[in-house]
Amino acid sequence: MIEELVTAGVALASVGTVYAMAAARVVKQYERGVVLRLGRLRSGVRGPGFTMIVPFVDRLQKVNMQIVTMPVPGQDGITRDNVTVRVDAVIYFKVVSAADAVIQVEDYRFAVSQMAQTSLRSIIGKSELDDLLSNREKLNQGLELMIDSPAVEWGVSIDRVEIKDVSLPETMKRSMARQAEADRERRARVINADAELQASKKLAEAAGVMSEQPAALQLRLLQTVVAVAAEKNSTLVLPFPVELLRFLERAQQPAQQAAPPAPQAQQPPDRTAQPQQSLPEAQQRPIQPQELSAQAQQLLAQWQQSMQEQLPPVETPLDPDFGGSKSGQD
């Protein structure tokens, strides 16, 4: 009798142990447990910690409540300004209602992924290329609203959606590079022109100040020579300003006017010589090309005459009808 009671107790203990092991569940801190009893949803959601269910009757399904980071595959599309692009994005979401995530949708992760891809293609078609490149914050907000609307019914909350990368064709990249280069070149030319305008105004003011004092130009020249000599160059190019020559010419004119003219020696008039102009008038009158040619012809005639005088006389040539010379025998 005692042995039967001990056997029964051991059997009950074994059954209880097996039941406890089959009914015991542990829910982690970042999870929530949804219990389905005979296919029906239990009202209460099991919190983190140790919990018990009815074996073979209840089914506990754990739902992760952490924020999930899901990359959205790159989507090819055509923008509103007819440019083919490929856009990659990333989505951050979390489950706020474990029961709805289990009951309302079969696989909430797959559903969110497909909705994100569809919304991304829709955003690409409604936007222009400049918006995709420079106004991403506005596009991110619109994409988040498009995904969050159906996700609320699934017990999922969209935390953030960001466009990660925009891939452009090589031809479009080259065109944009040429556009940026042309724009930078235009700005560089405008800056150079502005600098030249300011420099010309300053130089005009400096020239006006120097024109009042001619000695200032000579001082500026000496400063330039000092600046060039500081470079230790072997060759020094010294510019000589025309204004300095004019200044020296104006300084010499009063001295020439004060000096008396030098007396000239009187020469007897030459009646045979042709009348000639005075020296100042001859210097002032330019020589014409006709006079140069006449003088050249006169010099050539004189040279030919002198050559004929210096050459010996030429003997009389032989008569072709006579067989010997003129002084030969009869």
The answer to whether 75 touches 98, Cβ cutoff 8 Å, is no
Question: Which pLDDT does position 283 carry in this prediction?
Answer: 42
Rounded to an integer, the average pLDDT of 250-257 is 65
- Average pLDDT of the chain to the nearest whole number: 77
Rounded to an integer, the average pLDDT of 200-213 is 85
Rounded to an integer, the average pLDDT of 239-265 is 61
- How does residue 90 score in pLDDT terms, banded at 50, 70 and 90? very high
Residue pLDDT, tens place only, 147-183:
888 888 899 999 899 988 888 888 888 888 898 899 9
Question: Which pLDDT does position 268 carry in this prediction?
Answer: 47
Residue pLDDT, tens place only, 260-303:
555 544 444 444 444 444 444 444 444 444 554 566 667 667 66
Instruction: Provide CB contacts within 8 A for 123, sequence distance 6+.
Output: 139, 142, 143, 146
**Long-range CB pairs of 36-40, under 8 A, 24+ apart, other chains included:** 36/61
Question: Which pLDDT does position 256 carry in this prediction?
Answer: 60
Question: Which pLDDT does position 266 carry in this prediction?
Answer: 47
Lowest-confidence region among 119-123, 224-228, 321-325: 321-325
In the chain, pLDDT over 70 holds for what percent of residues?
71
Q: How far apart are CA 2 and CA 8, in angstroms?
A: 10
- For residue 220, which of 230, 206, 233, 234 has the smallest C-alpha distance? 206
Residue 76 forms beta bridges with which residues? 86
pTM attached to this predicted model:
0.53
User: Residue 321 pLDDT > 60, yes or no?
Assistant: no
User: Which amino acid appears at position 138 of this protein?
Assistant: K
